Structure 1
Amino acid sequence: MKTPIRFATLLMVVLGSSAIQVSADEPSQLPTWKSLFNGKDLTGWVDVNTSPETWGVKDGLLVCQGEPIGVMRSEKQYENFILHIEWRHMEPGGNSGVFVWSEGTPAPGRRLPKGMEVQMLELDWINQHKRDGKPNHIGYISGELFGANGLTGVPENPRGSRSMSKELRCKPHGEWNVYDVVCVDGTVKLSINGKFVNGIRDASVKKGYLCLESEGAEIHFRNIRILELPPGITSQEQTAPNLTANGSQ
């Protein structure tokens, strides 16, 4: 099992090397990683609009069957943080993703929520969803970042309103991919399998729920961890509505 990238290294990418100053004799001030999946059950997660059969645990893995389309959200909201998550699709052309800064409920008329999506597509997706008889844009399968269902942001490597990775690093179905997602003050930076390759900034929402996406294909997750960081200056308009356990506001 690989150890998640050190938080100081990740923050340097987003905020610069002077962002964190912690003396050697004050280790208690260092943030600590917290697990978001215990390998036994779905503690800490709330089904939003899928089914009891959609999500489960097998051999210590979080297994999503892919049907129906919808999401499962975290119990609490997060603002500034680093998310480490490992995933693998189990069939060619699989579709999924993780939402950050999400409202945690389906957007009006949609199955998926408003939020910043970190795309998880299997490599054959572009061949199974051709455009004008040719493979779809290769940017789809490189961990794109984009605001979904009303959230906006400024892409670092634009493909329309989306930001596509500068290098293709995702592995095909059956193989594990590692995402390290740095989310600070409306900026998201994505490392895929050990290298930062994508970013988006000025997100219109900067605090909200995490959501795992069920979108038609079986996908497995493991080693889901979060490192919470100090809050920033986030207004009420930039914060997702607070939800109760049953999903109501």
Structure 2
Amino acid sequence: MDEDVIVSAEWVDVHRGDPGVVVVDVRDAWEYDGIGHVPGAVNVPFDTFRGGGEEGMLPPEDEWAALLGEHGIGADTTIVAYDDTHGVFAARFLVTALLYGHDDLHLLDGDYSAWMQGHETSTATPDVEAVEYAVTRPAESPLVTIDEVAAATEAEDTIVVDTREPEEYAEGHIPGAVNLDWKEVVDEETRGLKARADVEGIFAGKGITPETHVVLYCNTARRISHTFVVLRWLGYPDVSFYEGSLTEWKDAGRPLEAGADSDG
């Protein structure tokens, strides 16, 4: 996942029929069927890959492999994902794929509501030939442990980022963490991201720079995932995230800090 991870609707329109490209709609089936979808897109609803077991919010590896294979996605497939919620659910699909070793990943800038404004839609379900999908986990993972997060709060070259809403952050957060609500980088009018320079400025205003090791956390995996994808799009080279909850943090005997972010 690199700086071309986020692609325009025009890019998707050009490439959606290419061999080896699969567009994935992660909305519920009733939305995909009833409201319509990007022509040729397959439907992989969020709940079908929403985990919550031994590995944070990841689905079991064998279930993930079967899910992708039945939708015609192989290990070398170019995946483009979208939803109708500014990309936050689609980002989780892509980060799950990344954690299980898939690399050719893209997020539609915007969502289905934005797509509908100027592009063709369909209610036809594409014919898909199932394939075998083999998970090959990467040698390095952006996932970090609770102990690594605790160490990050003390490291001079690291910043811990809470991607929850300001009200949640104010109630209690990991000490030293800054707050950046994932929606701050979204343009409500276009439903996609704000201009790159504006997004860079938002992160920089929080002290989040490409020179720092960024550690993300939240209470929902999708919000972490969206911010993670945006940071990779901006070219940040060292981004990690913690998928444990603040309940787990407290149960481990670690303190929380209350109060609003002075930069928020």
TM-score normalised by L of structure 2: 0.24
TM-score normalised by L of structure 1: 0.25
Query: Taking CA–CA contacts closer than 8 Å with sequence separation of 6 or more, which of the two structures ends up with the larger relative contact order?
Result: 1
Structure number with bigger Rg: 2
Q: Which has the higher strand share?
A: 1
